[in-house]
Each structure stands twice: as C-alpha cells, then as structure tokens.
Structure 1
Amino acid sequence: MILDILKQFPAILIAISVHEYGHALVAYAMGDDTAKRANRMTLDPLKHIDMVGMLVLLLAHFGWAKPVPIDERNFRNKRLGLFAVSLAGPAFNLICALVFLILYKLEAAFIGMYALDIMLAYVFKFNILFAAFNMLPIPPLDGSKLLLSVLPSSVSRFYWQYENIGTVILIALIFTNKIGLFIYPIVDVFERVLLSIA
C-alpha cells in the first residue's frame, strides 16, 4: 500500500498544486491579493501541503491540501468572486487532466514507455479525483461554496455556523470508505467529457 502511494505521490502533488494555484490566481484576478501576499500563488507543492491531509491520505486514500487564504471583502463583485474562485480549483484540475490525457495519448502512440505511461495516467487520474472530490456540496469543499455563491445571502450565516459539522461528515465518509459512492459518479462524467474532447 505504501509503495503504491509513493508511486502515485508525484501525481498527487501536481493535482494539489494545480488546484490551489487555480484558487489563488483567480482570486487575484477578482481583486483579492491575500493568497499572493501569503506566497500561495505558486505551483510549488511545499506551499500547499497540509500535514493532516497527507496523513489522512496515507491512512484512507483521500486527503486534502492547505486551503488558499481568501478574503471575499476584496472581490470587486463578491458573489461572482466567490463563484469564480470556488470553481477555479476543480476547473484547473480538469484542464490539467485534459493536458495530461493528450500527452498520454501522444506518448502511447509515439514513444510507448511503460513507466511514462503510468506517470501520465496517474496525473490524469488524480486531477479528475481532486476535481470530483471538491465539487461535493459538503462544507468546506468548493462545491458548497459554489452553492453559497448562488443562494440567498441569508444562507451565508447558516453556512459558516455549521461548516465544522460538514468537516466531521467529510472525515466520517472518508474513513468509512463511503466517499466513493458520491465521488465516482462525478469522476465518470468528467472522464467521459475529457475523453470525448481528447
């Protein structure tokens, strides 16, 4: 199990870095430079690793990165900013997955190196998984903030009040191996779309 994770670890780091960089870059574009000032607008995985998230990854095969700091008050348009930044992480993962899927197809057609095949396939796989995982509408994942951005403002206080309960539910789903019931249908849709594009 540990050996498998070590083989997959570079792909996991790429998926984490791309995801958090997406949040930071779009937040900056929307008027919030908090992540940039915190040196989080980078693809350097060391800036994004959360040690608890990595530990959970080793134990339960699902984990998380250190959230990029965002100050919604700095957005030029608060609702649009929250929507765009929340969507950015999964969107950047899907773009990265598409790029590596195309590279995989080219590599398989012209080079055919098994080790390279595996590496490219893992990057594709984990970017899809990160996108699907973060689209779940469970606080504090991106999917819940996407919902928050389109729901009435009165819901906002309720959301922040119960965000910690969402985290507990999320960890329970991970450690009981039930998280896949929610993630893999989304993964299947994402894979079908990207394969049709590629």
Structure 2
Amino acid sequence: MITDYSIQAIAINAIPLIFAITIHEAAHGYAARYFGDNTAYMLGRVSLNPIKHIDPVGTILIPLMLILASSPFLIGYAKPVPVNFGRLRNPRIDSIWVALAGPGSNFAQALIWAIFLITLIGFGVDERFLLAMSQAGITWNLVLLVFNLFPLPPLDGGRILASLLPARQSIAFGKLEPYGFFIVLALVFTGLIGSFWMEPLTAFFKGVVYFVTLPLQMLF
C-alpha cells in the first residue's frame, strides 16, 4: 500500500497500478467472451483503455478521501465488468474461470515486473525510478491478486466460492453482495484482513514469484 503520497511516489506507483487494474478488468471481459458471454465485449469493456474501467467513486473519490485523511490504507475498486453468467456455456464451472481471470492477470503481471526488475539489476542498470516502479509493479499486483481472492462477494473470491457452493447455499451467500464491500472495508480498517489474509497470502505468492524467476536470477 502507498504510505508516501509525494509526487515522486505517486508517479512511481501510477503506471503499474493503472496497468494492474485495467488488465485485471479486461481479463474478466475476455474470459467471459471466451466462455460464451459477449456482454462486456459489446459494451467496449474488453479494453486496455483505463478510462473504460474507472469508477468515479471507487477509483477516484474513495482513494482521494483516504489520501486527504492521511490513511495508512489506500483501497478502492474499478468499474466491475458486466458478465451475464447465464450466457456462459457451462455457467457453474465457467464462472470460476471468469472470476479467476482477473487475479490470474495480476499474477502474470507480477511475474513480468519481477523479470523486468531482475533484468535491470542483472545488466547493472542503476535507474532508481525504474527499479522502484518495478518493485511497485510486483507489490501492487500481488496486493490486488490476494485482495480480490478474499471469499466475499462482490470480490472475485466470493464469486468463486459461490460457484463451488450447493445451489441453495450459493443463493443465500450471494445476498451478501450489496454489503460485501462495506464488510471488507471494515475488516481492512480493523486490521483483520491484513493480518489473517493479506500478509500471509501476499508472502506466499511473493515466494512463488521468487521460485518461478529463480532460473533467471541464477543466470545473472
């Protein structure tokens, strides 16, 4: 999370964060189209244009209010990609893949930023801005990956869990969706989601990234 709100810190974090959010949302739309639902594609949401995914409240207002309040946490959300799960060829199974597409894209981006960082260091590039931006790219994508896997709707983890539950329990669980973000927000500010979910899982995926890129590290 950003704790330094200087112009330099914002510049370092802006590019990887915009890419992380934009590709995350576009991945949901692409996966939905692949499995049979063209809703997001017809609405122009299968796009790498960040403007298509900006939510005035979640992407701008909430983060701005947290910055002005000097909050140690900076969270928000993009405009959800519309998916008509009933149009998927196999709604129960395909909806899991659609939900996983966003976090999966964040893991892929974390790997790419890690490879970029290792390559910079390996070739002796001492450009602090690029090094810091690469590190921010790894961190932001892992944070978004883990945060979105939290098993509560409307987060991706909640949609995955809903698809795995029996029909009756899934319907009951889905009724939490209108309140889900506020519940998560409360868990963030109490520190519970950080201590018991974000920190251990982020460390786990950071270890996975390290393991996958180990051959490249050894090469340099």
How many Å apart are 1:10 and its aligned residue? 1.7
Q: Is the 8 A contact 1:62 1:174 kept in 2?
A: no
Q: Is the 8 A contact 1:75 1:81 kept in 2?
A: yes
TM-score normalised to structure 2 length: 0.85
CA distance in 2, matches of 1:145, 1:183: 18
Corresponding residue for 2:144?
A: 130
| Higher radius of gyration, 1 or 2 | 2
CA distance in 1, matches of 2:134, 2:113: 6
Q: Tell me, yes or no, if structure 1 residue 57 matches structure 2 residue 57.
A: no
CA RMSD of aligned residues (A): 1.5
1:14-33 equivalences under 5 Å are: 14-33=19-38
Corresponding residue for 1:7?
A: 12
- The alpha-carbon distance between structure 1 residues 179 and 51, as it changes in their structure 2 partners (threshold 3 A), is farther
Partner-residue secondary structure (3-state), 1:62: coil
Q: Is the 8 A contact 1:11 1:119 kept in 2?
A: yes
TM-score normalised to structure 1 length: 0.94
Partner-residue secondary structure (3-state), 1:39: coil
Q: Is the 8 A contact 2:162 2:174 kept in 1?
A: no
CA distance in 1, matches of 2:191, 2:16: 22
Instruction: List per-residue Cα deviations over 1:149-187 (Å, max 9, x = no partner).
Output: 111111232123221232221121234444322211111
Corresponding residue for 1:193?
A: 208
Instruction: List per-residue Cα deviations over 1:94-146 (Å, max 9, x = no partner).
Output: 01110110011001111232111111111111111100000000221000111
Corresponding residue for 1:113?
A: 127
1:44-193 equivalences under 5 Å are: 44-54=49-59, 55-58=61-64, 59=66, 60-110=73-123, 111-181=125-195, 182-193=197-208
Instruction: List per-residue Cα deviations over 1:60-87 (Å, max 9, x = no partner).
Output: 4111111100000110000111100011
Q: Is the 8 A contact 1:107 1:117 kept in 2?
A: yes
CA distance in 1, matches of 2:200, 2:189: 19
Q: More displaced, 176-185 or 120-129?
A: 176-185
Identity of paired residues, percent? 35
Q: Is the 8 A contact 1:17 1:45 kept in 2?
A: yes
CA distance in 1, matches of 2:192, 2:63: 15
Unaligned runs of 5+ in 1: none
Q: Is the 8 A contact 1:80 1:149 kept in 2?
A: yes
Q: Is the 8 A contact 2:148 2:157 kept in 1?
A: yes
Q: Which residue identity is paired with 2:47?
A: T
Q: More displaced, 183-192 or 172-181?
A: 172-181
Q: More displaced, 81-90 or 58-67?
A: 58-67
How many Å apart are 1:5 and its aligned residue? 3.6
CA distance in 2, matches of 1:12, 1:116: 14
Partner-residue secondary structure (3-state), 1:2: coil
